[in-house]
Amino acid sequence: MKVSILGCYSATPRTITNPTAQVLEINNQMYLIDCGEGTQVQLRKHKIKFSRINHIFISHLHGDHFFGLIGLISTFSLLNRPNDLHVYGPKGIKDIILLQIKLSKSYTKYNLHFHELEATQSELIFEDDKIAVYTLPLKHRVYANGFLFKEKPGLRRINFEEAKKYPIEVCYFNKLKQGFNLTQKNGDVIKNEWVTFDPLPTQSYAFCSDTIYNEELIPLIENTDVLYHESTFLEKDIEKCIPTGHSTAKQAASIAKQANVKHLILGHYSTRYADIQLFKQEAEAVFTPVLLADDGLVFKF
């Protein structure tokens, strides 16, 4: 599992920082989470292939989380993209994007699918044979969701050293990977566990940006491998959290601790702070390990 941070600062873009956008790569699939202004430039800068992005998840309709979307959609068309593109986001995102496409006559040459969200409870919004994606209801100034990506168990793995001890034809390996036993012509059974290893452990990733301290998230993200949680403010500015709909680094760490996650990534920093190491210091008083997102960083798990 790999997380590429394209931008992780709040509010407006600066020459040295970018608003929220990140790419999650899990089980050889790639997902774009949020699409702040300048996302396509960051994708190019960090050599992430546009063609591998088929699903985009937008947390809410504040500009620093989706103003880059129309540009990316338009560029996909200019590049003669053949693949369908699926966009998941709050109700209204379809109208916003289609109006821009209509008035600029920038109609896409590929199929563009919108999956509009309005539920206030966690729901399954995407699933294939490798992964399931659920919403994580957030508490912000507008309707907002985080997203939980849960990898599905893979196939069993052939133990070739043990398999050599039995008359197994290669054509039966797929059956073994699926967990079946094999029955030989003489009636003897080759048990699956004799010649295979367990599947690789699954991984999970929770993205929670733009929310006040919200303990309702805890049971939804319990035991998650990696939690990205916004930390817009430091404790000295905690009084700003409720009016703006944000959290402190210490509050993010408290959620991580109570949910028993394995790793915490902080991000969405207010640009009022000159040193983001202060966020890590405050969070580590409550939970470890803490990782600091920053534009261009790549985390591998």
Q: Which CATH number covers residue 272?
A: 3.60.15.10
pLDDT at 47 over 90: yes
Mean pLDDT of the 258-286 span:
97
| pLDDT value for 247 | 98
Mean pLDDT of the 92-105 span:
97
What are the strands, taking DSSP E only, across 176-223? 182-183, 189-190, 196-197, 204-208
Is 129 annotated as catalytic?
no
* Last residue of one domain, picked from the residues 197, 219, 248: 197
Sign of torsion over alpha carbons 218, 66, 272, 14? positive
pLDDT at 36 over 90: yes
pLDDT at 184 over 90: no
Residue 282: how many other CB atoms lie within 10 Å? 22
> Which residues span the domain enclosing 288?
2-154+200-300
- Specify whether 56 is located in the same domain as 181: no
Task: Look up the pTM and report it.
Answer: 0.92
- Specify whether 162 is located in the same domain as 296: no
Characterize the bridge pairing of strands 131-137 and 124-127.
antiparallel
Mean pLDDT of the 170-182 span:
93
Nearest CA-CA partner of 34 in 4, 77, 75: 4
Mean pLDDT of the 97-103 span:
97
The one catalytic residue among 64, 210, 225, 295:
64
- Specify whether 77 is located in the same domain as 184: no
Beta-carbon contacts of residue 77 (< 8 Å; ≥ 6 apart): 106, 107, 108, 109, 110
| pLDDT value for 185 | 84
Mean pLDDT of the 235-243 span:
98
Mean pLDDT of the 142-146 span:
98
